[in-house]
Amino acid sequence: MKEKIGVIGAKTHPAEYLLHKYWSRKPHNVVSHFIAELCPPGGVLVDPFCGSGVSLREGALLGVTTYGFDVNPVATRISSLTINPPSLEEFALAVEPCFDRFRNLVEEAYAEIGESKTRYLVHEVVSLCRCGKPVGNSEAKPEGRIYRCPSCNERVFFNLESLHSTRVIGVVRDGTSKIDDEIELLKKHQELSGHCFYKGGQKYNQSFTENRRILAFNERRVGDLFTPRNFSLLCFLADQFHDISDSRVREAALTMLTASVVQCSRLIAYRNNMTTGGPAWSVPGFWIPPVHIETNPLIHLSARYEKFKKGLVALRTRPLKARASVVNLSATQGLGLLRDKKIKADMVFFDPPYGDSVPFVEFSFIWNTFLRLQPSLEADISVSDRMPKLSSWEKYFKGLHEIVEEVSVCLKPGGKLVVTFNNHDIRAWEALLHALQSAGFSCEFVAFQIPAVVSAKAQLAPEGSYVGDLYCVFKRASQTKKNDRSLAPVIEALKRCAISRGGQLPENLVRRVATTAWLENNIVAELLSEFEPLIKSLFSSDSGKMSWRGALGQGEGISSVVRKTAEVILRKGPCEWADIYQAVARSTQTLGIPDPGELRSLLGSHIVWRGSRCLGFANEAQSSQLVMI
């Protein structure tokens, strides 16, 4: 690279990357930065785990030909929309007649009592006790964090596995947050909620593959996550979209549908009259909250349609300068296809599954069901509870080795491999590093990506839950170069970090500093078995805080560096939190970049804040009390 920048500040996703939720979407400006630095004009980029297609679009915008592959069908549909969107006119021409038919059926399904339309209904889960009695959540006897049957006192579980039915306990209409619990109204909606308004949707009622970690049970089906009313309505619209003749418009319409289906499911918890948080799928699994909502699907689909129209305009405002393509294949299959076609890459963007952090294809099961597509679970290398854990980790290890070998064949001489990976599980790191080192790759440098938006909670939390992503640039090492077997660089980096903080460090910072030093010094993967023992030998641990065990020498203090850096920035006038964070991150690379909570603590009462905006340094009269305006 022209300049080895150790810290990159992320920007928030623009409209074209917000059309559909997808996990671990990388910031477009960070991805663009690496492509611009590592790919020559007219070069070739390959992304074998392309996800939602950020790298494919950003590369093509820079004039780089991009090839993407993903085993997850919904990922390739999102990517395809991102790189090859239909025009707004052709999209609207095909979608609006489908919406008209959908609107008519929804109006029948949500038949109104009174003048205003139903916005959503509040449901409670009804479970079947061992004694055979159906027990509603409000009927169960609470006992700490558990519930018991009012008849037999047996424990009752309110989850998908125990779901017997749901009961309407409230109705909320347009223009109000007030719950109407009039008995006749509840009875009417209970009847409508349990009715199927379209009989052609059984093909979408697929069975889950067992994965109890994410609450997917093989005796349950997709339809169980919805009321019969909403599931039938969504199936009707899915069939309407599948009948669109233009393939590009059809895929865009179905992508729009999948972006909305979860908000119409039973997975949305009812909290605070829905005045905070909104209808979000926030739990990492298929958990049906004991009290949840059933939203009128026309509301979500109409809002998503307007968002899609804006997104299509944004996508077509900046036309691609080079060809971009995406194919629904596993990484191994996709790289093999390029090998057969003798296509070589200047850069491979490599964002593999994070061990068992995110079971991408299983989380996408609902979306893929409405697409009428399901991935080959055999081709997915993610570690998953759908199979014995030891076997799953062995498959992951073997899969990464095969893929990295294909990457080494795919790269041109002098080509670069950019690896982004965020996982402190030693098994995941060992599998990845072993694969890279076995294929002859060595790390040139590591960049730390700080977040575009840091929540107030993360800023104020003493430990700071945010860690950030690491971007590592690898190249094929010379045959004479060997990986290091000394842990001294890791110990030195951790000691500098400890000295700067008087020996007291947050645990996540210790692990990030150690991981970065390990990568930068190309220490052999085989020694990762010593990672945890090394940390324990250097630090004692108590509630997320780690204390250096030995004697500490003299060195630069993190507090002094942070305040000097902030002062330089604030001399130019008030600034955003992100400006302070990026400047501090760059000045503290050798000391360990602080997480948001630690940085806020270090700045303390020296800064006057208005929300996330830094107004300037407090004077001595103010310094005794932080002014939070």
Expressed in angstroms, the distance from the first to the final Cα of the chain is: 43
Q: Confirm if 60 and 66 have CB atoms less than 8 A apart.
A: yes
Task: Kindly state the DSSP code that residue 484 receives in the 8-state scheme.
Answer: B
Eight-state DSSP code of residue 150: T
Determine the Cα–Cα distance for residues 92 and 249; give it in Å rounded to an integer: 9
Q: Report the alpha-carbon distance of residue 211 to residue 345 in Å, rounded.
A: 37
CA dihedral in degrees (30, 33, 39, 45; nearest 10)? 20
CA dist., res. 443 & res. 18, Å (int):
32
User: Which position has the token pair 């002094």?
Assistant: 560
Which residues are registered as beta bridge partners of 446?
472
Q: Is the dihedral of CA 500, 505, 508, 513 positive or negative?
A: positive
Contacts of 138 (CB under 8 A, 6+ apart): 124, 169
CB under 8 Å to 221, separation ≥6 — which residues? 205, 206, 207, 208
Rounded to 5 degrees, what angle do the CA atoms 372, 377, 383 make? Answer: 135
Q: In the chain, where does the domain assigned CATH 3.40.50.150 lie?
A: 7-86+324-477
Which is the CATH superfamily of the domain at 7-86+324-477?
Vaccinia Virus protein VP39 (3.40.50.150)
Total Cβ atoms within 10 A of residue 567: 12
Contact (Cβ atoms closer than 8 angstroms) between residue 351 and residue 49: yes
Instruction: Report the SS3 class of residue 355.
Output: coil
Question: For the chain, how many helices (H) and strands (E)?
Answer: 20, 21
Residue among 299, 386, 345 nearest 110 (CA): 299
Q: DSSP letter at 212?
A: G
CB 423 within 8 A of CB 355: yes
CB of 616 closer than 8 Å to CB of 603: no
CB atoms within 10 A of CB 253: 25
Q: For residues 589 and 595, what is the distance between their CA atoms, to the nearest angstrom?
A: 12
* Rounded CA separation 527/473 (Å): 21
Tell me, which fold does domain 482-555 have in CATH? Arc Repressor Mutant, subunit A (1.10.10)
Compute CA distances 327 → 44, 53, 214, 277, whole Å.
16, 11, 27, 35
Query: 328-347 burial string, b = 16+ CB within 10 Å, else e?
Result: bbbbbbbbbebeeeeebbbb
Both tokens assigned to 512: 């990030």
Longest CA–CA span in the chain (Å) reads: 81
Cβ-contact 500, 557 below 8 angstroms: yes
**Coil, strand, or helix at residue 419?**
strand
Q: Which two tokens stand for residue 177?
A: 């947050």
Neighbours of 556 (CB within 10 A): 13
- H or E stretch covering 345: strand 345-350
Provide the H-helix boundaries in 344-486. 360-363, 365-371, 389-410, 426-438, 456-460
Q: How many CA atoms lie within 13 A of 500 on its CB side?
A: 27
pLDDT of residue 544: 72
Q: Who's near 282: CB < 8 A, 6+ residues apart?
A: 269
Q: Can you give the pTM of this predicted structure?
A: 0.90
Residue written as tokens 């030998």? 537
* Residue 333, phi then psi, degrees to nearest 5: -65, -45
Answer yes or no: are the C-beta atoms of 494 and 538 closer than 8 Å.
Answer: yes
Provide CATH 1.10.10 ranges for the chain: 482-555
CB 395 within 8 A of CB 368: no
Angle, helix 73-83 to helix 54-61, in steps of 10 degrees = 20
228-242 helix and 88-109 helix, angle to the nearest 10 degrees: 150
CB 559 within 8 A of CB 584: no
Mean pLDDT by 10 residues, the chain (629 residues): 64 90 91 94 96 97 98 97 96 97 94 72 92 90 90 87 88 83 90 94 92 83 94 98 97 97 93 65 81 93 94 93 97 97 98 87 94 92 89 95 97 95 82 95 89 49 52 80 82 95 90 92 94 95 87 87 90 85 89 86 80 74 36
CA distance linking residue 36 with residue 58, whole number of Å: 9
Pairing label, strands 345-350, 324-327 = unpaired
